[in-house]
Structure 1
Amino acid sequence: MPDECSLAVEVTTSPLLEGVPHGFLGRAGGLSTGIYAGLNVGLGSDDEHDIILENRHRAKAAVLPDSQLLTVHQVHSADVVTVGKGFAIDADTERPHADAMVTDRPGYLLGILTADCVPVLFYDPVAQVIGAAHAGWKGALGGVTDNIITAMEKLGAVRENIMCAIGPCIAQGSYEVDVGFRQHFVTDDPVNERFFEAGRPDHFHFDIEAYVVHLLTIAGIKKIDALGLDTYTNEDRYYSYRRSCHRGEAGYGRQISLIGLR
């Protein structure tokens, strides 16, 4: 792995969201070392707290320097926070427990942390309303994408105008699940069977990115950019919870996806 500290912060953007400050960040450009090497922004990790805060500062500076970075305490829910006044970013206990945020206020930079789950950035260019969602399998199945669209509409967004970009997440070939996992989705909707590919006996590979695209499409979102970046196999660029588990590592880093209004 290259020396992450010597690299600039890498910001991957979507042409679909051109005109709004945003980006999907990876490992490059951070101060963390060891298993967290790079731009680890996870307050829930055992990385050094001051280094995490500096990494967060670098992430903000790379996308919208004069903004206030906001993140939530993610709990794999379908809950959405509407941001009016800001809330603390430097203490784990002071952030709302939720997995998505929306706002129409300039000066805020919404940040979602992931390490295999699906980060989704939302933008209505007409109403100037933005959103960011952490769509793990539980949150996606529970309706986090539907809930964030509804929350944006309450701020004046129109779903036909909303555009979405899906950032780095675990790819189908890297995401092996068992029969019970698959059954959750097939029971919810038989059409979900198409997101599972048979693997070794009693196991399947789940395409969570395609599943989230499907959810957005049936919700009425017409413009979706799925970047197709695999966190598991791209070790030099991204953290991966599953990869760390497979290696028996003591912890794992988190990358951040950001969107804000000037």
Structure 2
Amino acid sequence: MGVAHGFLGRRGGVSTGIHAGLNVGRGSRDNEAAVAENRRIATEAVLPGAKLMTLYQIHSADAVTLRTDADPAFRPEADALVTDRPGLALGILTADCAPVLLADREAGVVAAAHAGWKGALGGVTDSTLFAMEALGAQRKRICAAIGPCIARASYEVDQRFVDRFVRDDAANERFFTAGRPDHAQFDLEGYVAARLAASGVGRVEALGLDTYADADRFFSYRRATHAREPDYGRQIAIIGR
């Protein structure tokens, strides 16, 4: 990709209990001081000295462009951040959804997107690409990486979910495999990768790591729900220049 970036899991950090490790979720019930320290640790690991910029993520297709010296307290409601400014670390929080990091090194444009099923279907990656182009990026030069997210084997959905995707595009049926009656297994990572490729992105890589299946390395909303835990942590993906 040619720019500083990283997909950080739960290992390391100072949180304890069910949030043990590098929990960066301000919306979690973790100790605020621990979350702040974890966010500092994560930023320094990827882009030392940078300002960490994150969002109030709402599962939308909205992308925000940062063009001026930004205030880290600025947390707009959106699901993607784009910038051409050095010294900013763009961060996306996830706990099963797909984090997507993008860069056009030649144009000096980077982006980070949060692609849950709703945002992915709604076009969050498309919005991100349009915002990158507005800053001078070219799709054929853009490299995109999809980080740890819930995998097909762990992502059971009902038939109404399948129908929603197939109505949008009949070709989306290929991202589902049969499961128990009236249910299927959804390949979120594959869907996001296909949307990026179809949009003309020059290079798309997927890590193939399942957040649900690996409790030692990753936080997972669905796993915490199935275990009837009272809360869950969030991991972060960061990119900057």
**TM-score surpassing 0.5?**
yes
1:86 is matched with 70
2:38 to 31, 35, 55: 55
Tell me how far apart the structure 2 counterparts of residues 95 and 133 of structure 1 sit (CA, whole Å): 14
SS of the aligned residue for 1:197 comes to: strand
Tell me how far apart the structure 2 counterparts of residues 116 and 86 of structure 1 sit (CA, whole Å): 28
Tell me how far apart the structure 2 counterparts of residues 57 and 220 of structure 1 sit (CA, whole Å): 35
2:227 is matched with 247
Q: Residue by residue, what CA displacement relative to the aligned partner does 1:107-150 show, whole Å, maximum 9, x if unpaired?
A: 00000000000000000011010000000000000010000000
Tell me how far apart the structure 1 counterparts of residues 76 and 186 of structure 2 sit (CA, whole Å): 30
Tell me how far apart the structure 2 counterparts of residues 214 and 21 of structure 1 sit (CA, whole Å): 24
> What percent identity do the matched residue pairs reach?
60
Tell me how far apart the structure 2 counterparts of residues 86 and 238 of structure 1 sit (CA, whole Å): 29
Q: Where does the alignment leave 5 or more consecutive residues of structure 2 unmatched?
A: none
1:214 is matched with 194
User: How big is the shift at 1:28?
Assistant: 1.0
User: How big is the shift at 1:222?
Assistant: 2.5
SS of the aligned residue for 1:220 comes to: coil
SS of the aligned residue for 1:87 comes to: coil
Tell me how far apart the structure 1 counterparts of residues 203 and 26 of structure 2 sit (CA, whole Å): 33
User: How big is the shift at 1:176?
Assistant: 0.2
Paired residues for 1:128-207 under 5 Å: 128-207=108-187
1:123 is matched with 103
Amino acid at match of 1:201: P
- Supply the RMSD in Å over aligned alpha carbons: 0.8
2:23 is matched with 40
Amino acid at match of 1:29: G
SS of the aligned residue for 2:48 comes to: coil
Tell me how far apart the structure 1 counterparts of residues 96 and 55 of structure 2 sit (CA, whole Å): 17
User: How big is the shift at 1:177?
Assistant: 0.3
2:5 is matched with 22
SS of the aligned residue for 1:40 comes to: coil
Amino acid at match of 2:71: F
Amino acid at match of 1:143: G
SS of the aligned residue for 2:219 comes to: coil
2:216 is matched with 236
Amino acid at match of 1:21: A
Contact preservation (8 Å) 2:62, 2:79: yes
Tell me how far apart the structure 1 counterparts of residues 71 and 162 of structure 2 sit (CA, whole Å): 37
Q: Which runs of 4+ in 1 moved over 6 A?
A: none
Q: Where does the alignment leave 5 or more consecutive residues of structure 1 unmatched?
A: 1-16
User: How big is the shift at 1:60?
Assistant: 0.5
1:68 to 25, 46, 51: 51
Amino acid at match of 1:176: E
Tell me how far apart the structure 1 counterparts of residues 86 and 52 of structure 2 sit (CA, whole Å): 12
